[in-house]
Structure 1
Amino acid sequence: MDSKFLQSMNISLDLALEAREIIRGETGQEVPGVRVDKETYDYATVTTVHIEDNNAQVIMGKPVGKYITIEAPVIKENNQQAHREIAQILAEQLKKLFNLPMELNVLVVGLGNWNATPDALGPRVVEQCLVTRHLYNYAPQELQGGMRPVSALAPGVLGITGIETAEIIRGVVEKTRPSLIIAIDSLAARSADRIATTIQLADTGINPGSGIGNKRAGINQETMGVRVIAIGVPTVTHAAIIAQDAIEKYIQSTGGEPKDTSTIIKNLLEPLGGNLTVTPKEIDTLIDDTAQIIAGAINMVMHPGISPEDYAYYLH
């Protein structure tokens, strides 16, 4: 599959790692202005893609910044010990993206539609985050050492509220004046293998809905006036990509010549508006597990003085 097919189907890639893979596959060399670091752990591989200049930004279709991808197939397994280790890896990677004094306020934003399971990751994470900003004003006696003022918001989506998500967040930012926003959202993957097995962190913010062709106003430093770190997990992939992969494998197995199949796939998907995304049948469990991992990592970073055993005391 190449970039021309993705463009013809109006598919954008949420994962910087996938964008790099496709471009490298076409050119046979590293993208100019892109630097890559890789770390290996027992349960995960961590790849950091640095987009360093405007030329690389244009080629990659991603803003200049740092994109950290944690690939961990074990997330799909019922292995709580492994999940805890993935949360610790995520926490360590998150720490690398900011350095704020403990007294400064952080706003956690769970993007997505809580009524649609594949899009409910952000709200599920917010439910499990330790929010403490109110305690500083109303119950300071409940605070322990090593706790940061954290507030959280799940603003919903335009179809539910009638308000652009970015407008809601900007209004909250103007009132609460956080020093950092951490935004969590569901993503679309190029490969079905990456659904609920890959976590991406980016210090460039996020455009909700961009991966499924429903691009909304950006949530980034330019629009919010405060730095935004985005955490995303692929929960869907495009039916057009699955169809293209199946056709390519069939052609390869029969020794046929590669063909432009985008018109066939467009006609096939036309009754569905030309855009169909799919998700695994076990998405409920996958969302719960990934939400727990991400919330655990955020809690570790935001409140290093609190042990996981004490989280329940502060969760409501």
Structure 2
Amino acid sequence: MFSVRTDLAVEARELYKEGHAGEIPGVFLEERENNGVKIVKVKILNNEGVKAMGKPIGDYITIDAPDLKYRNLELEEKVAKILADVIREIANVNVKIKTLVIGLGNWNVTPDALGPKVTENIVVTRHLKELVPLQFGDNISSVSAIAPGVLGITGIETAEIVKSIVDRTKPDLLITIDALASRRIERLATTIQISNTGISPGSGIGNGRLAINEESLGIPVIAIGVPTVVDAATIANDTMEYLTNALIQKTSKDSPFYMVLKNMGDEDKYALIKEVLDPEANLMVTPKEIDILIKNISSIISRGINLALQPNLTVEEMNQLVH
């Protein structure tokens, strides 16, 4: 049977609610809004929540800002500050800890280049702390960053590369950035998910890889993800739903076309979708302006991480260290 693919906890909750009444067992939800930016916290508390949501126990905080697609500089700065606050909320961040930032993904494929793009603008200071400690002292936090590539480029599992770096440099905290999959086109490059449960590289496009999490690395892992693709089968399924609902408003319920769609069960819809879309193709869809969207959202994420990790530096000082 066709299943909707999504990496977002808020969407997993929406899917569960569509088929069940009442609150989800083992899941806590908290929502708030900040001048056009919606912040949703989904907390999976126990195994009941894991079974319902299909995600590990932990916190999943989503920053949803639909107007980011219009390139609003004031909104971008606001989202970066909110992201910094969320990072501080779910991680023990201070200038005394050592942080490693990992940009996951393939820099040769635009929808998957989010992680590498973010690492380009991270304020890296580990070398400064070690080589000229008297000049910087405790004013900066030790931060290192790397984009390790993907299995197809290196021939090495990303998790193996990350573990070797962690074992050698011994950071206190790991922050990963990766591209995700959403079930809604409107969430592409406008939604940021932050979790403390780690990540499996490539999961957004259905690639099962070794997990990067606290269990495998021995240190806390904060995963930051942004949806950049939507499963084509999901779009087809949602389009059929929209069409059925639109016909209710615009045509007679006795219309033969409406009756055909309305009377189709889920299995019939999925069979039709599979017939139209070759299941072997595994199509993923991304916007035509994805290069611009990746550039903008990666800049927002790097600013948010820098603000969280370097609270004693001004924006001008950060820019000097980056460039």
The alignment's TM-score, normalised by the length of structure 2, stands at 0.92
Q: State the structure with more CA Rg.
A: 2
Counterpart CA distance in 2 for 1:53 and 1:17 is 17
What RMSD in Å do the two structures reach over aligned CA positions?
1.5
**Structure 1 residue 140: Cα displacement:** 3.0
Does the alignment pair 1:285 with 2:306?
no
Decide which of 33, 36, 52 is 1:59's aligned counterpart. 52
Q: 1:77 is matched by which residue type in structure 2? A: Y
Pairwise CA distance, 1:141: 5.1
- Residue number in structure 2 paired with 1:269: 277
Secondary structure in structure 2 of the residue aligned to 1:273 = coil
Q: Would you say 1:5 and 2:13 are equivalent positions?
A: no
Who is 1:300 aligned against?
A: 307
Q: Displacement, 1:258?
A: 3.3
Shift of 1:269: 2.4
Q: Residue type of the partner of 2:67? A: V
1:87 to 1:101, Cα distance in 2 relative to 1, 3 A: closer
Asked whether the 8 Å contact 2:77–2:300 carries over to 1, the reply is yes
Q: Which residue of 2 aligns with 1:39?
A: 32
**1:312 partnered with 2:319:** yes
Q: Does residue 1:219 correspond to 2:212, yes or no?
A: yes
Measured in 1, the distance between the counterparts of 2:2 and 2:303 equals 38
What amino acid sits opposite 2:222 in the alignment?
A: I
CA offsets per residue over residues 70-123 of structure 1, 9 Å max, x none? Answer: 110121112111100110111111110112442221000000000001000000
Is this contact kept in 2: 1:266–1:274, CA < 8 A?
Answer: no
Segments of structure 1 that go 5 or more residues without pairing to the other structure are: none
Per the alignment, residue 77 of structure 1 pairs with 70
What one-letter code is carried by the residue in structure 2 that aligns with 1:5?
Answer: F
Amino acid in the other structure paired with 1:314: L
CA distance in 2, matches of 1:43, 1:148: 32
What is the rounded CA distance, in whole Å, between the counterparts of 1:44 and 1:164 in structure 2?
Answer: 36
Measure how far apart 1:28 and its partner are.
2.0
Q: Deviations over 1:232-261 (max 9, x none)?
A: 000010100111112222334224323322
Residue 147 of structure 1, CA deviation? 1.2
Alignment check: 8 A CA contact 1:190 1:237 kept? yes
Q: In the alignment, which residue of structure 2 is the partner of 1:50?
A: 43
CA shift for structure 1 position 29 = 1.5
SS at match of 2:211: coil
Residues of 1 paired with 2:186 and 2:175: CA distance?
Answer: 26
State the one-letter code of the partner of 1:227.
P
Give the aligned length. 308
Letter in 2 for 1:193: E
Match of residue 199, structure 1, among 192, 205, 209:
192
Paired residue secondary structure (2:90): coil
The residue aligned with 1:258 is: 264
| Structure 2 partner of 1:209 | 202
Q: Which residue of 2 aligns with 1:149?
A: 142
Q: AA paired with 2:124?
A: V
Q: Match for residue 105 of structure 2?
A: 112
